[in-house]
Amino acid sequence: MAHSASGQRLRATRLGRSSVAARLEHEVRLTAADFADSVAEARLRVAAARYKVEDEVRNTAGKLKSQVRKAADEAKARFSDDARFLKSWIDSPGRTGAVAPSSPFLARRMASYVDPQAQGPVVEIGPGTGPVTEALIERGIDEARLILVEYSPEFCDLLRRRFPRATVIEGDAYALSTTLAGHLTDKASAVVSSLPLFNKPPAERTELVQDAFANVLNPGAPFIQFTYAVISPVPRKGSGLKAQVSDWVLRNIPPARVWVYRRAKP
Ligand SMILES: C[S@@+](CC[C@H](N)C(=O)[O-])C[C@H]1O[C@@H](n2cnc3c(N)ncnc32)[C@H](O)[C@@H]1O
């Protein structure tokens, strides 16, 4: 049957509308899929950012926690060192020579006169609880190069625990070369002393230092000593020693100075 012209137009119009509708529907689906993709991507980004923030918070909290723990441990160690020292002073004031360990400022000043590059071990006499030992290590002297001579058995136990690679000798530093016999394979690059020298007569102090220069130290190496006194703790007249002295280290109780002795003719 032949179609009328108006019927054909009507069909064409309907066909045109349905293809437009189909295209529109297709576009809408694509847009919806794009939108869903964007939403999923945005969710992933948000999740990644959240993990990063959580991670940073966890890291920072961890770091803070370990800093607080370290500070608490240090404070505890300092407190117990102070208590140990005070007990040692009560038991034997003359031998301990101070009511508290040296401050890190005095300890660092002592260590500053040791050349870490110089050959040979570093002999520390009267290390106590080890503040000067710590400063020597901080200065760059390998712990294994340290020979520590301490009279008190309690301090020796503590030093062995604290500095396991150092050589700790429980003995009398005033008989220095005898006490070091068998431990000193090379001559030393420095003797660092915290002994309370003024508790000994001048002749005994002189003997100690002369023994160190004759039998323990390398030529040119220093004997380093701190003191709270205003005069040289080592008698200098006729000693053949030259000396230099630091300014007062005020951040120590009581304030102290460091004397560095060397042979005038090494
Ligand atoms: C003034 S404290 C110094 C301790 C540590 N160096 C400081 O600066 O805190 C003196 C130290 O020398 C030790 N000492 C005293 N006479 C000694 C001796 N004859 N031989 C070895 N050590 C001695 C004491 O036991 C004490 O530990």
**Run means of pLDDT, 10 residues per run, the chain, 266 residues:** 62 71 89 90 91 91 90 82 89 90 97 97 98 98 98 96 98 98 96 97 97 97 97 93 97 96 90
Task: Say what the pLDDT of residue 14 is.
Answer: 66
Task: Say what the pLDDT of residue 79 is.
Answer: 77
Task: Say what the pLDDT of residue 3 is.
Answer: 54
CATH of 94-263, one of 3.30.565.10, 3.40.50.150, 3.30.2130.30, 1.10.3720.10: 3.40.50.150
Atom of ligand 1 nearest to the CA of 179: 20
Q: Which residues pair with 241 in a beta bridge?
A: 263
pLDDT tens profile 134-145: 999 999 999 999
Task: Determine contact, residues 122/144, Cβ cutoff 8 Å.
Answer: no
Ligand 1 centroid, distance to 173 Cα (angstroms):
9
Q: Is the CB of 134 under 6 A from ligand 1?
A: no
Looking at the chain, list the stretches that DSSP marks H as alpha helix, in order from N- to C-terminal side: 5-91, 93-96, 104-112, 131-138, 153-162, 176-180, 202-211
> Would you give the distance in Å from CA 158 to the centre of its chain?
18
Distance CA 186, CA 144 (A): 13
Q: Which two tokens stand for residue 227?
A: 């003191």
Distance CA 74, CA 175 (A): 34
pLDDT tens profile 51-106: 999 999 999 999 998 899 888 888 888 778 888 988 999 899 999 988 899 999 99
Q: Is the CB of 204 under 6 A from ligand 1?
A: no
Task: Determine contact, residues 241/210, Cβ cutoff 8 Å.
Answer: no
Q: Is the CB of 97 under 6 A from ligand 1?
A: yes
Task: Determine contact, residues 103/251, Cβ cutoff 8 Å.
Answer: yes
Task: Say what the pLDDT of residue 254 is.
Answer: 95
Mutate to test the pocket of ligand 1, among 192, 195, 251 (most ligand atoms within 8 A of CB): 195
Q: Which two tokens stand for residue 4?
A: 């009328």
Q: Which residues pair with 223 in a beta bridge?
A: 191, 261
Task: Say what the pLDDT of residue 1 is.
Answer: 44
Q: Whose CA is nearest to atom 6 of ligand 1?
A: 127
Ligand 1 centroid, distance to 28 Cα (angstroms):
89
The model carries a pTM of: 0.77
Atom of ligand 1 nearest to the CA of 100: 9
Q: Is the CB of 148 under 6 A from ligand 1?
A: no
Q: Whose CA is nearest to atom 8 of ligand 1?
A: 102
Ligand 1 centroid, distance to 88 Cα (angstroms):
10
Q: Which residues pair with 217 in a beta bridge?
A: 188
229-265: b (≥16 Cβ within 10 Å) or e:
eeebbbeeeebebebeebeebeebeeebbbbbbbbee
Q: Is the CB of 152 under 6 A from ligand 1?
A: yes
Atom of ligand 1 nearest to the CA of 172: 20
Cα atoms in the 13 Å half-sphere on the side-chain side of 4 = 3
Task: Say what the pLDDT of residue 137 is.
Answer: 98
Q: Whose CA is nearest to atom 15 of ligand 1?
A: 95
Atom of ligand 1 nearest to the CA of 128: 27
Distance CA 137, CA 149 (A): 16
Q: Is the CB of 139 under 6 A from ligand 1?
A: no
Ligand 1 centroid, distance to 230 Cα (angstroms):
20
Closest CA to 96 of 128, 132, 123: 128
Instruction: Specify the DSSP class assigned to residue 218.
Output: P
Q: Is the CB of 194 under 6 A from ligand 1?
A: yes
